[in-house]
Amino acid sequence: MRVSTSYIFDQNLTAMLNQQTELGKTQLQVSTGKRILNPSDDPAGSVEILNLQREFSVTEQYLANADKAENKQSLEESGLQSATSMLQRIRELAIQGLNDSNTQKDRQAIAAEMNQLNEQLLGLANTRDSNGDYVFSGFNSNTQPYININGTYQGDEGQRNMKIGAGVLIETNDPGNAIFESEHVSTSIGKTVTAGASTSNITIVNRDGGESMTSPLVFTYDDTLLPPAYSVTDGTVTAVIPYSAADSGLNVDLSTIDPAFPKMTVELTGTPVVVPPLPGPAAADTFTIDTTTTIQSMFKTIDQFAKALTANQVSSNDGPNNGDFLTNISTSMSVVVDTQAKVGSRINAIENQREINDGISVNMEKTLSEIQDLDYAEAISRLTRQTTSLQAAQQSFVKVQGLSLFNYL
């Protein structure tokens, strides 16, 4: 086939230009390190890159959220840790203060320390984070949860969640009322005197068991029994405690009479009055021991006890309900410890999730790199090949252009 001269020229030129374009592209790939320069180079790959980048940065955000969540939880945990040790100290002080060998002065000194600790506890409940937000007031984070020792909870029960993984929300706070408020047990003894002047009395000496009572205990004096005795019932079990005025000062551990009764030692004193059943029903002294349960802040509980200590009124029958203080402080402590455990398990969950996210992140980075990053070895050898062939094209162009019959005319 004959070929026209201009065609040879044009073809050679086009071929060189094309090679230059390819060379330029390879060079750009090498200098950017990217295999895909425009989405159209590899439409499927570039969409995958977009998706991976999106997932990758979402995961990075989850990791950042996890860091923040962990910081918040650590702050809470250390607060709860201090609260626990303060409560322990308060409990020690209480045990010390309840000891009969104390004088009122001693008890006042103990109460002073207790008040000090109580103020610190209150300060803990009013902790703020780096944003100036109250940590323990739920969603009402601009509201101080407890204004003072006797203050009621001002926050709400909102628990703020953070997203630390796809579909994984983690709570990052606990409302103060779930930590600093708990069941407050108070035991009361009521006496019903039916007739005349009665000198009988029942006092609680010891209730180490500390458990709250499920139903009230009713003591009714009955002198028709032999020997005369208090009949005790909790509604289901009935037992008798032989007693007459001569026994005044008798200490009885109720749980030894019947295991169904609470572990409680009562002291029976005085002379019970009995009206014989002359026409009309028999009547006798009746005592009711009952516990009431309310929800109360630990600050108030401690304060009430400290006041009682100061006033030297710490016997079991003294108000306000000091006999139950150790029980109540234990309940408070266990609520704090429970919350601490919850926080701990959240921190664990955060760490697990972070490991998962780290794994995902590393995997995605690897896949992303496989798709978008250049295989340098291949690209460099391509660059060399393209350079060589461009050079060859240039040299042959010059050679071929020199070929002409006119040179010989």
Partner 1 sequence: MSMLNIGTSALITTQGSLSTTSHNISNVNTEGYSRQRVEQGTRLPNFDGGQYFGSGVEVSSVERIFNSFLADQVRTFTSQEQQLDTFSSYASQVDDLLGSPELSLSTGLQGFFDAVQNVADDPTSISARQVMLTEADTLSQRFNTLDTQLDSYNDQVNLNLDSAVKEVNLLSKGIADLNQVIIEASAGGNGAPNDLLDQRDQLINELSALVSVTIINQDNGAQNVFIGSGQALVIGQSSVDLSIVVDPADITRSEVGYGPGSINISAQLTGGSIGGLLTVRQEVIDPARAEIDALAAGMVTTVNAQHTVGLTLSGNAGGNFFEPTGTPTPDAGNIRLALVDPRDIAVAFPITTTTTISNTGTAQLDVNAVDGSDPLFDPLLALDTTNTPSLTFSYDAVAKEYTVDYAGDTATISYDPATDSGMTIDLSALGAPHTDFLGGTKPPLTITLSGVPGDTDSFALTNSTSGGFNSVGDNRNALALAELQVTKVLNGGTQSFGDSYGILVANVATRTHQADVGQKTQQGLLDQTNLRYDSVSGVNLDEEAANLIKFQQAYQAASQIITVSNTVFNSLINSF
List residues near partner 1 by CB under 8 A: 1-7, 11, 14, 38-41, 43-44, 46-47, 50-51, 53-54, 57-58, 61, 64-65, 68-69, 131-133, 137-143, 155-158, 160-163, 166, 169, 173, 177, 295, 404-406, 409
Q: What is the DSSP string of 190-207?
A: EEE--SS----EEEEEE-
- Specify the residue, 65 or 339, whose C-beta has the smaller distance to partner 1: 65
Query: How many other C-beta atoms are found inside a 10 Å radius of the C-beta of residue 53?
Result: 13
Query: Nearer to partner 1 by C-beta: 256 or 404?
Result: 404
Cβ closer to partner 1: 120 or 367? 367
User: Whose Cβ is closer to partner 1: residue 170's or residue 284's?
Assistant: 170
Min dist CB 55 to partner 1, Å, is 9
34 forms bridges with which residues in the sheet?
Answer: 373
Residue 182 or 321: the one with the smaller Cβ distance to partner 1 is 182
Angle between helices 298-310 and 43-98 (to 10 degrees): 20
Tokens of 143: 């509201």
* Residue 294 tokens, joined: 């309310």
Q: To 5 degrees, how large is the angle CA 178–CA 179–CA 180?
A: 110
**For residues 226 and 409, which CB has a smaller minimum distance to partner 1 in the complex?**
409
CA–CA dist 99, 323 (Å, integer): 12
CB of 202 to partner 1, least distance (A): 30
- For residue 154, the minimal CB distance to partner 1 (Å) is 8
How many CA atoms does the CB half-sphere of 405 hold within 13 Å? Answer: 1
As measured in angstroms, the least distance from the Cβ of 246 to partner 1 is 46
Residue among 396, 402, 384 nearest 23 (CA): 384
